[in-house]
Amino acid sequence: MNAHPGPPADAADTVELDVTNVAHGGVSVARLDGRVVFVSDTLPGERVRARITERSKKSFWRADTIEAIEPSPHRVRHVWDAASIERAPEQRAGGAEFGHIALDHQRELKRRVLADALQRFGGLPEDVASDIVVEAAPGDDERGGLGWRTRVSLHVGEDGRAGPFVARSHRVVPVDDHPLASEAIAALQPFAQRFDGAERVDLVSPSVGGARIIPRSEGENAAQTITERVGTREFRLDDTGFWQVHREAAAVLTDAVTRAIDPALVDPHAANLDLYGGVGLFAAAMGDAFGRETRVTSVESSPRATDHASENLAEWVGALAVTSRVDAYLRTLDAQAGANERSRLAAATVVLDPPRSGAGREVVDLLARLAPAQIVYVACDPVALARDIGLFAEHGYATRGIRAFDLFPHTHHLEAVALLVR
């Protein structure tokens, strides 16, 4: 396609760059006089005119594309006009940084980022890392990767209108639509309203019940209970609480976690754990897969989520929901567990679903000291996953399999599920 130039830029900050690679974080890599430049709104293989936006780092600079001089054959019209290079960089909506790339090629770029991270930080052989395929969620190809978000968080500008931030900024951009949002959220017409007095607006479209707009201010914590359905099972949670954003994500990840678990290593009576357990999604999956008497403890730092997990897991006689930070829970367990409990922990299956920053060294070290038989790691950041796989490898855990899922089309994010075996 022919790309049209954006608004004129300061000539002193404007450069031409040959883009050679993709980097973690939704940007691509170029070099300028030997210096690495991370460039937004482009992709490998392009020659672009870009505006330097950050020179503060000795090791790299940042730049925004303002024109694709030699576009890649994988460049397409951006799915969201508010985020396209036809807009000045300071007016581009954030949240769809891959929207100018053909959907199948987005997945290839995500695969490259994951494979590179697994080799560099996880120590996996190149052939193993390169064989991973980033799988599409049901319905996404048919929809062009649009309409998948059942949760959208917007920020309120000085004029009372809600919109996204510009990428890597705290500046609100007024928009007229959000093509990644579900049809039910679009029907709320949030961009035609004013939210004076609110700091942000959450748009939520649960699988049961109607979509809703939730204006929020600092310190405001009021929440209502909603229901999400995964297969035939229902989960109750706060409308302001965490749930997977993609309409199919909970079902896709439940299936992936269940398939990742090695049944030969499962002991229903072991001290099985669901860490960062939320409202009990994966603990319930373990109970469904291995019987209602399966012993599993869900550990979550949010008291409200733990309350809901207790309710959602009530039918499993061996299920328990505990409110605690995961690191504090593991420290206590390591300090107080007797011989019998350590034996049950050594036979355990652990599902580990940390936040984007990953589990980190302390949690990995504590968990490895308890020596569970297998760990199913659910990750939403490839570098954090790779780093933690490398840490587990130091304790003798081998990576037996990894699957990756494109649950965030038109963004750089992906989910991955890995099985680690002692």
Which residues are identified as catalytic? Answer: 380
Name the residue among 111, 112, 115, 106 with its Cα closest to residue 141: 106
| Alpha-carbon separation of residue 401 from 56, 68, 396 (angstroms) | 40, 39, 15
d(CA 98, CA 84): 10
The residue assigned the tokens 């405001």 is: 220
For residues 109 and 99, is the Cβ–Cβ distance under 8 A?
A: no
Residues 6+ apart with CB under 8 A from 272: 286, 294, 295, 296, 297, 348, 349, 350
306: its two tokens = 């733990």
d(CA 88, CA 335): 56
| Alpha-carbon separation of residue 104 from 44, 136, 168, 304, 410 (angstroms) | 15, 9, 26, 39, 10
The greatest distance separating any two alpha carbons of the chain, rounded to the nearest whole angstrom, comes to 71
